[in-house]
């Protein structure tokens, strides 16, 4: 699985960090999303997909 983020679209709602804290973080200086793992291990794939579903700004894409 490959995860992509669109920082320009992010509105810093933090849903991704709650859903998949090992895959996403937020920058301290502006609260925008940071991708920690571009290719999450299988154990984290479901959480990453859930984060993509939750993101209110459609800023996360997941390619299988």
List interacting residues with ligand SF4 (CB under 6 A): 10-16, 24, 26, 33, 55-57, 59-60
- Measured from the CB of residue 40, what is the shortest distance to another protein in angstroms? 18
Closer residue to ligand SF4 (CB): 7 or 39 = 7
Q: Which H or E run includes 25?
A: strand 24-26
Q: How far is the CB of 36 from another protein (least distance, A)?
A: 13
Greatest distance between any 2 Cα atoms in the chain: 31
DSSP 43-64: HHHHHHHHHHHH-TT--EEEE-
Of the candidate residues 6, 31, 41, 61, the single one contacting another protein (CB under 8 A): 31
């Amino acid at each position: 699985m490959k995860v992509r983020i669109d920082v320009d679209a992010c509105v810093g709602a933090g849903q991704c960090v709650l859903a998949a804290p090992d895959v996403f973080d937020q920058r301290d200086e502006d609260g925008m999303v940071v991708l920690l793992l571009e290719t999450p291990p299988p154990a984290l794939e479901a959480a990453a997909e859930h984060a993509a579903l939750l993101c209110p700004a459609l800023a996360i894409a997941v390619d299988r």
